Chains A and B, each alone.
Chain A
Amino acid sequence: MAEILVLVDHLDGTVRKPTLELLTLARRLGEPSAVFLGPGAGAAAETLGRYGAHKVYVVDAPEVEDFLVTPAVDALAQIAESAGPAAILLPSGPDGKETAARVALRLESGLITDAVDITAGEDGRPVTEQSVFAATYQVTAHITQGIPVITVKPNATAPEPAPVTPEVEKWDVAFGPAATTVKVLSRTPRERGDRPELTEADIVVSGGRGVNGAENFAVIERVADVLGAAVGASRAAVDAGWYPHSHQVGQTGTQVSPQLYLAAGISGAIQHRAGMQTAKTIVAVNKDKDAPIFELADYGVVGDLFQVLPQLVEEIERRRS
């Protein structure tokens, strides 16, 4: 069966959910092999095997953590040259996309970024689906040259276990001069609260200009917590300094595709819609009955979010008790 390489996204050996999604998609194309860079492969191998990785290539070299992107490029390109996979899948993110582009250039391959789905075409080669032009178009595409290199957005599919015991292979990479040119001076893992991560969450509750102040975001957080949701923010709210940039939903922030998106005090400018309109269900709360967000909403409440949201929390708690 054709081998499919999957670059693992992890934090100190804890495999992040998008990688499990990649392994699930890879099984549609062939037999997944995981490429794990950095320390902590021992614990990760079990998780990767549970989601169908028959093999785990491990590159535990200091270069991977001490330098930006290019050590990963050397590792992935060299493993690909030796393994001759039928496709290479990476997570869409700044690091994943850059790694993918450089690997594709070295392998003289084609590249597709930000796929939201992958299926096997008639010849077994991958056919991708992408959401483009601020999510107004769905595009299917394929790669016409070399080993297909594809980056995939979070939430493209639900991770499905398919347990195997993976063969773990340590790999020595011969790092080229380009691998060690951009030094990582310091690394601060992004703070993770108790809430789910924005890109991975099934439910996202977002606040915008109408929240009108950093301290008022507590109202949004309260709804998020009662629904087990992640918190998002519009660009206006982030630019005003009310909520951290890592929570920005939109064209230049994070693009989310949750089961439920609840937008409060967000008018729904195209910039914002580009980041959320592929959500399954959209609910909007806004004072302005003409706000464009209502055009997208499956359910909308015209009213003051500071009244509607606390009442909603009460009502949900009442229904649960």
Chain B
Amino acid sequence: MKIVVCVKHVPDATADRTFTEDGTNDRGSVDSLLSELDEYAVEQALRIVESGVEAEITYLTVGPDDAKDALRKALAMGGDSAIHVSDQDIEGSDAFGTSLVLAGAIERHGFDLVLCGMASTDGTMSVVPALLAERLGVPAVTHLEELTVEDGTVTGRRESDSATVRVQGALPAVVSVTDRSGDARYPSFKGIMAAKKKPLETLDLADLGIDTERVGRTGARSAVDTAARRPPRTKGEIVAADGTGDAGLAAFLTAKKFV
């Protein structure tokens, strides 16, 4: 079977990220890398194959030229090939534009299982897997902390809004996994070397037959009015523990009416 893992190249979440003047994510300001939350999807794809399911793993990303780095990182962890969709007109896409491009590339490649992380670490909307399923017309088995693929179905455990649920859907399907699904492996030196030789295909919007009006800033369905840095919190009073009942802290909480 064919497994497609969607990955995103994102600005380092531990760095100081900023906005460009037009209110989009400023990708030039900090180093970018494979979104940490997507590593869990890569890991699950590899584990499915290691569990004995015969499958070919392809990574898919949409983004500017350096987004290839995310694909190489994933390929270094394992898997077979990668697809990079890159086009000037995609810049500034919202989740609707991004999911349209991803769905186009997934359909072109063919799929039995699409694996995604639970959210990107930059946009953090967590909606692309659902949008992909809606566009591809297949079940969405999302936010899984644990999953099994067998007999043409995917079964897993999900933390929903107010309950833990066990869910099951038939393949082909879109699945997203959380950061609780299992630690992602580190690429080995051998893996890093092997990744350089694995096939990586580059596509643009014309290859996918997608009208440029439907993506990028033109296709976006929301707009940022203002983006302002939150005023840094001012450091308050820091005291050493006084050992006499921490009257200072209790007094602070009382003054703030928490006691």
Please give the residue numbers on chain A whose beta carbons come within 8 Å of chain B beta carbons, in ascending order: 9, 11, 16, 68-70, 91, 93-98, 100-102, 104-106, 109-114, 127, 131-146, 178, 181-190, 203, 227, 245-246, 251-252, 259-260, 270-271, 277, 281-283, 285, 289, 294-304, 307-308, 311-312, 314-316, 318-320
Contact = CB atoms under 8 A, between A and B. Distances in A.
B224 A146 contact: no
A93 B259 contact: no
Contacts of A251: 13, 121, 124
Contact of B13 (A134, A187, A190, A312): A134
Given A139-B224, A189-B163, A283 B253 contact: yes
B169 A146 contact: no
**Looking at chain A's contact residues, is the secondary structure mostly helix, strand, loop, or mixed?**
mixed
Contacts of A131: 230
Given A91-B161, A98-B142, A137 B229 contact: yes
A28 B204 CA distance: 44
A6 to B, nearest CB: 15
Contacts of B241: 301-304, 307-308
Contacts of A113: 125-127
A142 B94 CA distance: 13
A110 B238 contact: no
Contacts of B158: 68, 94
Given A182-B167, A252-B179, A281 B256 contact: yes
6 contacts: A97-B127, A102-B134, A136-B230, A271-B13, A281-B258, A296-B233
B213 to A, nearest CB: 12
B230 A94 contact: no
Contacts of A295: 233, 235
Contact of A252 (B37, B94, B160, B223): B37
Contacts of B228: 137-139
B223 A141 contact: yes
A86 B226 CA distance: 23
A100 B127 contact: yes
Contacts of B131: 101-102, 105
B246 A301 contact: yes
Interface in B198-247: 220-230, 233, 235-241, 243-247
A93 B240 CA distance: 40
B161 A93 contact: yes
B6 to A, nearest CB: 15
Given A104-B96, A298-B233, 13 more contacts: A11-B163, A97-B130, A98-B130, A132-B124, A133-B17, A134-B17, A145-B221, A181-B169, A187-B164, A252-B118, A271-B14, A289-B238, A301-B238
Interface residues of B, number: 80
Given A295-B233, A308-B241, A312-B246, A105 B126 contact: no
Contact of A139 (B141, B226, B245): B226
B252 interface: yes
Nearest to A10: B162
Interface of B: 13-14, 16-19, 23, 37, 94-96, 118, 121-122, 124-127, 129-131, 134-135, 137-143, 155, 158-170, 178-180, 220-230, 233, 235-241, 243-250, 252-254, 256, 258-259
Contacts of A307: 241, 243
Contacts of A141: 23, 222-225
Contacts of B239: 299-302
A94 B235 contact: no
Contact of B250 (A9, A245, A315): A315
A188 to B, nearest CB: 5
A294 B238 contact: yes
A141 B226 CA distance: 7
A316 to B, nearest CB: 5
Given A105-B96, A181-B169, A299-B249, A189 B13 contact: no
Contact of A137 (B227, B233, B254): B227
B227 A11 contact: no
B126 A97 contact: yes
Contacts of A114: 124-125
Contacts of A145: 221-222
B173 to A, nearest CB: 8
